[in-house]
Structure 1
Amino acid sequence: MTGINLGLLSTLLIIQTPILFAALSANVASRSGYFNVGIEGLMTISAFFAVVFSHFFQNAILAFILTMVLGLVQGLILYFIDNKLKVNSILAGIAYNLIAMGLTSILLNLLGDRGISTSLQTIPFARHSVSIMGKEIYYNISSILGILSIFIIYIFNEKTVLGIRIFSVGKSVEFSKISGLNINKYRLISLLISSVLASMAGASLTLGYLPWFSRDMVAGRGFIGLAIDVMSSGSALLSGFFSVVLSFMFTLSNHQSLFNLKPELLELIPYMSVFIIIILRIQLVRIKKRKYEKNKGII
């Protein structure tokens, strides 16, 4: 049993990383009032180019850094669409997701690959291990970065002037204008940080989880990140918690030997978990609201 549990933990450390980065990406953007629906597309493009960078430079760390730079470029594109072209952020995000799917499919075809990057030799992150109770738990640098990012984003959001100003912009645009805050400046900063985190999510898929790129490999993780942000009500710590919970569901679905269920049913576990947790979260908020109104004599 211990071997199974530690095996699950090793898988969890790897699987949770893309979901965690996606959730933190949504968290940073939403605090400025920007609902970054394009996380899925950001992850898709970043996952593909992480493989390309890794192939040409034969260095996973350099590929990861270059992918983060690519995330900055994508963030600038989204900001231009939102701020200069005045396109609704949700519509822009949906369009960006579709463009990302189409672009990566075209690039795969140009490489002569069909559905998976077989022609590119990916150098993934080195796998490390730590021994606990005589059993090995495996991890890589992206999984460690993911865990550290929870606390880094929490400190940024709650303890820095920049993070608090970004939150102020998202909370009330009018009050921020009266206070003399540059709305566009802080939304740009939050969107750039969000895009870099999304690019890290995509890169961790192909450099830390699977050493190749395939069509639809992001598989809704960007949308799960958005759902986690809604569940966590803007808290980076809660985003980390829900990321671990949902990643555990993904981990269970990958260990088919633990259940006497069809693989197709097991694959539904993570997505149904998102649906159930969101419903429970909404109901909890409603209960608290009704209790507050009752105590105040409103109802």
Structure 2
Amino acid sequence: MEWVKRNQITVGATVVVLVAAYVFYGINSNVATSMFSGAWFFAVPLVLGALTGVVGERSGVVNIGIEGQMLVAAFAAFFSASASGSLVVGVLVGMLAGIVMGAFLALTTVKGLMDQIIAGVVINIVATGLTSFFYRPGKVLSANMPQWNVPILSNIPLIGDVFFQSGPIALFALVSVPVVHFALFRTRWGLRTRSIGEYPSAADTAGIDVIRMRLVNVTIGGIFAGAAGAYLSMEATGGFERGMTAGRGFLALAILIFGGWRPLRVFAAALFFGFTNALASQLQGVVNIPQQFITLLPYLLTLVVLAVAAGRVRAPGAVGQPFVKGEGS
């Protein structure tokens, strides 16, 4: 009850959205299920990419290299799965690739004190170059990613069809949101993470190893970007193409800001982006909408969202600021 009182607006908005969704479902269940499934399909990599940003930026490290992390992970996941004949190997290698790219960002910015924006740009450029150079067409997966039905939950009308009849990576994204939220706001790790992202010098005085925590958090946060890449190449499309992330990493950054660096709000923002994309696709069959407009819509929304969010949300106080032990921050 105390949590509900503190989050009355969020709870109220959630109730309104759920009521509207089920009214829509009652009017036309097939169209509603199709649209919301499409929204979640589009939102999964955005949720995972934004969680990478949440963990990193709550620790004080800006990560604009999410796009590159996702692209390398998509490449590594697909071609390792193709070579080994194992989907499990592909997913694990994709996540490992995300961790490696996260470790590169952490080492260069936290240890090497490299400008965080430049480090992210380097990741994006290197990822594009490497995946384009080593790309070989004609590779196929030995099997399709399975679809799992979660017992009991998958039988819930609409919600069950959309969220609980999905592939393993989509379910991982769904579970990760409340887990990261709980860890960030209800555990000692979360308290320390938020403290090194807000007041690293005070955290250092309190005995927290700021450099070590930033290194670990930014590296481990790469798991989510790796999962997003694996989802794109193995669960969403079943193939790899050059530049297949198509700006989703940058959309994840916009969602991160719009969601106020909070996992549950980030999840809602990603679904909003996904739903607008699904709505545009649905309208294409009714109204003569050029395909280019549908492709452009998420990026137009990004500009609108950033304009609206500017000045309304506050980033972690020390995000983007390097930390040197013994110096004020």
2:297 is aligned with what amino acid? I
2:320 corresponds to which residue?
A: none
Cα distance per residue 1:68-100 (max 9 Å; x no partner): 222222222222222333211110100110110
Task: Give how far 1:136 is off.
Answer: 6.4
2:302 corresponds to which residue?
A: 274
Identity %: 25
2:262 corresponds to which residue?
A: 235
Q: 1:124 to 1:90 in 2, by over 3 A?
A: farther
Structure 1 stretch displaced more, 41-50 or 181-190: 181-190
Task: Give how far 1:285 is off.
Answer: 5.5
Structure 1 stretch displaced more, 130-139 or 185-194: 130-139
2:9 corresponds to which residue?
A: none
Spell out structure 1 runs of 4+ moving beyond 4 A: 128-138, 283-286
Contact 1:13–1:139 (CA under 8 A) maintained in structure 2: no
2:290 to 262, 285, 296: 262
1:79 to 106, 111, 114: 106
Cα distance per residue 1:129-184 (max 9 Å; x no partner): 65676996552111111111110110110111112101100101211121121111
Q: CA RMSD, aligned part only?
A: 2.2
Task: Give how far 1:122 is off.
Answer: 5.6
Q: 1:131 to 1:182 in 2, by over 3 A?
A: closer
In the superposition, the TM-score normalised over structure 2's length comes to: 0.79
Q: 1:136 to 1:233 in 2, by over 3 A?
A: closer
Distance in 2 (CA, whole Å) between partners of 1:12 and 1:233 is: 21
Cα distance per residue 1:190-248 (max 9 Å; x no partner): 10222111111111111111100111210111111111111122211101110111111
Contact 2:254–2:305 (CA under 8 A) maintained in structure 1: no
Contact 1:150–1:237 (CA under 8 A) maintained in structure 2: yes
Contact 1:253–1:270 (CA under 8 A) maintained in structure 2: no
Q: 1:260 to 1:92 in 2, by over 3 A?
A: same
In the superposition, the TM-score normalised over structure 1's length comes to: 0.86
Cα distance per residue 1:241-270 (max 9 Å; x no partner): 101111112223443214331111222221
Q: 1:181 to 1:208 in 2, by over 3 A?
A: same
Matched, 1:91 2:111: no
Distance in 1 (CA, whole Å) between partners of 2:250 and 2:286 is: 27
Structure 2 portions without partners, runs of 5+: 1-27, 315-329
Structure 1 portions without partners, runs of 5+: 287-299
2:41 corresponds to which residue?
A: 14
Cα distance per residue 1:86-127 (max 9 Å; x no partner): 21111010011011001000001xx3x3xxxx2243634213
1:194 corresponds to which residue?
A: 221
2:209 to 178, 182, 201: 182
Contact 1:27–1:236 (CA under 8 A) maintained in structure 2: yes
